[in-house]
């Protein structure tokens, strides 16, 4: 069964992906810990191939590196799912900003955008933020690309340029972001960010400051099409103070006492999962994708500010298997292996640790040994069940990553 599935992977170089908006309908949604087929490992580029996502089609090319595991998460929008712990965090932050920061006419100063498409251009994700073309943050090994011009956003900052150039001075952006990363209880290829941006005009920043009318935002220096002049020390200190005050108030509210033209300002981003894990004592990031009522019902609160501590589900035993292989001479990245393991093993994979590196003294080939911890969040796994998954990981690594197995 594993071999036949792998043969299908080798043959299939182009996939037509279901609309992510349809994934959430009925039984098509994968349950926590379900195992994707090996043939669903990745969407690979070929001339004429298309990937369809959120109602739009994108041509595939040599940069396409989306896994079906990740694509199945697009459109889930956990931060907009009422009574989900991420929704609770978002609503608490919104409530705080609405109450603390009010405009001239009594309306909220900050507008909120929580349904912007996660598909952005590479220009939005990098160039609009002045990230150089050769910057390592653009690497395929760290991002999910639809093709060379479109990707799943790596941060909510991808929307800053558009919103600022729409004339907005104060806004929150909330959404799912996508990054290829290691596998453990703190990392997942999809997580959720909340970003705040605030700009100040000269009048707004220096209002109430003694002799403020004589102060300036910028030094007498040159301005380019991409960068403002150097900020004055007075302006920088006031913006720094305002940002610190904003964050201090927000943290106190949550945890208790423990393209700007002629304006300058601040921006910050927060990971909703990290906040929720601390605030609600949630130990594993995979739980946020659980549809187990024992998890979800704990956050059905009548008041979003109500204190709640997650009551753990039964702790089921782990099943541990090792895998070792010789690396190919080039084009191997650890994130490719992590993506493969996560796609095949799904949320059964609790963590993957690189436990040994070895360089052969004669051939100078490098060997990696990884320890994969499998644990179901809702039932006990048996070694027989895990063995099939682990064998699929071994064979997929050989065929898709060109490693030489030592198993």
364-394 as b/e, with b when 16 or more CB fall inside 10 Å? Answer: eeebbebebbbbbbeeebeeeebeebbbbbb
Q: What is the spatial distance between Cα 60 and Cα 24, in angstroms, rounded to a whole number? A: 24
Q: What is the spatial distance between Cα 301 and Cα 13, in angstroms, rounded to a whole number? A: 47
Question: Residue 2: enclosing H or E segment and its boundaries?
Answer: helix 2-11
Which residues lie below 8 Å from residue 4, measured CB to CB, with a gap of 6+? none
Tokens in use for 89? 């965090």
Q: What is the spatial distance between Cα 43 and Cα 64, in angstroms, rounded to a whole number? A: 7
Q: What is the pLDDT of residue 11?
A: 30
Q: What is the spatial distance between Cα 185 and Cα 403, in angstroms, rounded to a whole number? A: 27
Packing angle, helices 2-11 and 383-401, rounded to 10 = 30
**Torsional sign, CA 4, 6, 10, 15:** positive
Mean pLDDT of 89-106: 92
Q: What is the pLDDT of residue 22?
A: 34
* Phi, psi (rounded to 5 degrees) for 145: -105, 135
* Phi, psi (rounded to 5 degrees) for 50: -130, 150
Q: What is the pLDDT of residue 243?
A: 74
Instruction: DSSP letter for 244, please.
Output: H
The closest of 364, 18, 149 to 138, measured between CA atoms, is 149
Q: What is the spatial distance between Cα 118 and Cα 88, in angstroms, rounded to a whole number? A: 21
- What percent of the chain is predicted at pLDDT more than 90? 64
Lowest mean pLDDT among 30-34, 126-130, 287-291: 30-34
Bridge partners (DSSP) of residue 306 are none
> Hey, which of 6-15, 39-48, 360-369 has the most confident mean pLDDT?
360-369
Q: pLDDT tens for residues 175-234?
A: 999 999 999 999 999 999 999 998 877 766 667 666 556 566 666 666 566 656 666 777
Q: What is the spatial distance between Cα 382 and Cα 105, in angstroms, rounded to a whole number? A: 63
Mean pLDDT of 288-316: 92
Q: What is the spatial distance between Cα 153 and Cα 179, in angstroms, rounded to a whole number? A: 8
pLDDT band at residue 105 under the 50/70/90 scheme: confident
Q: What is the spatial distance between Cα 83 and Cα 91, in angstroms, rounded to a whole number? A: 10
Residue 257 pLDDT exceeds 70: no
Q: Are 356 and 297 in contact (CB under 8 A)?
A: no
Chain-wide mean pLDDT for the chain?
83
Residue in this structure with the two tokens 């109500």, named with its chain if needed = 306
Residue 286 pLDDT exceeds 90: yes
Residue 303 pLDDT exceeds 90: yes
Q: What is the spatial distance between Cα 389 and Cα 393, in angstroms, rounded to a whole number? A: 6
Q: What is the pLDDT of residue 42?
A: 58
Which residues lie below 8 Å from residue 6, measured CB to CB, with a gap of 6+? 38, 39, 392, 395, 396, 399
Strands 319-326 and 366-374: antiparallel
Of the chain, the end-to-end C-alpha distance in Å amounts to 19
Q: What is the pLDDT of residue 246?
A: 81
Does pTM top 0.85 for this prediction?
Answer: no
């Amino acid at each position: 069964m594993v071999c036949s599935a792998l043969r299908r992977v080798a043959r299939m170089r182009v996939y037509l992906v279901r609309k992510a908006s349809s994934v959430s309908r009925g039984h098509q949604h994968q349950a926590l810990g379900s195992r994707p087929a090996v043939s669903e490992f990745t969407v690979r580029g070929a001339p004429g191939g298309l990937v369809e996502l959120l109602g739009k089609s994108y041509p595939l090319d040599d940069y396409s590196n989306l896994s079906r595991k990740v694509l199945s998460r697009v459109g889930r929008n956990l931060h907009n799912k009422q009574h989900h712990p991420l929704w609770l965090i978002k609503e608490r932050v919104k409530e705080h900003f609405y109450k603390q920061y009010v405009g001239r006419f009594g309306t909220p100063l900050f507008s909120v955008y929580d349904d912007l498409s996660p598909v952005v251009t590479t220009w939005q994700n990098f160039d609009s933020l002045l990230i150089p073309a050769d910057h390592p943050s653009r690497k395929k090994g760290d991002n999910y690309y639809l093709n060379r011009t479109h990707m799943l956003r790596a941060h909510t900052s991808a929307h800053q340029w558009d919103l600022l150039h729409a004339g907005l001075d104060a806004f929150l952006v909330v959404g799912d972001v996508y990054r290829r990363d290691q596998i453990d209880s703190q990392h997942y290829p999809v997580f959720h960010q909340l970003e705040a941006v605030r700009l100040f005009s000269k009048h707004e920043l220096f209002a109430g400051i003694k002799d403020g009318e004589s102060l300036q935002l910028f030094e007498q220096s040159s301005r380019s099409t991409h960068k403002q002049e150097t900020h004055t020390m007075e302006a920088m200190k006031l913006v720094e103070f305002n940002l610190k005050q904003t964050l201090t108030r927000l943290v106190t509210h949550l945890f208790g006492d423990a393209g700007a033209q002629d304006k300058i300002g601040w921006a910050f981003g927060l990971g909703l999962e990290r906040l929720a894990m601390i605030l609600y004592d949630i130990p594993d990031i995979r739980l946020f994708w659980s549809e187990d009522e024992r998890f979800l019902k704990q956050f059905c609160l009548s008041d979003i500010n109500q204190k709640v501590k997650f009551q753990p589900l039964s702790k089921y035993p782990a099943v541990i298997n090792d895998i070792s292989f010789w690396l190919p001479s080039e084009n191997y990245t650890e994130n490719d292996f992590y993506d493969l393991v996560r796609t095949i093993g799904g949320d059964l994979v609790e963590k993957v640790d690189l436990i040994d590196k070895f360089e052969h003294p004669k051939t100078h080939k490098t060997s990696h040994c990884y320890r994969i911890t499998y644990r179901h969040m809702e039932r006990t796994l048996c070694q027989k069940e895990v063995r099939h998954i682990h064998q699929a990981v071994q064979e997929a690594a050989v065929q898709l990553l060109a490693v030489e197995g030592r198993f």
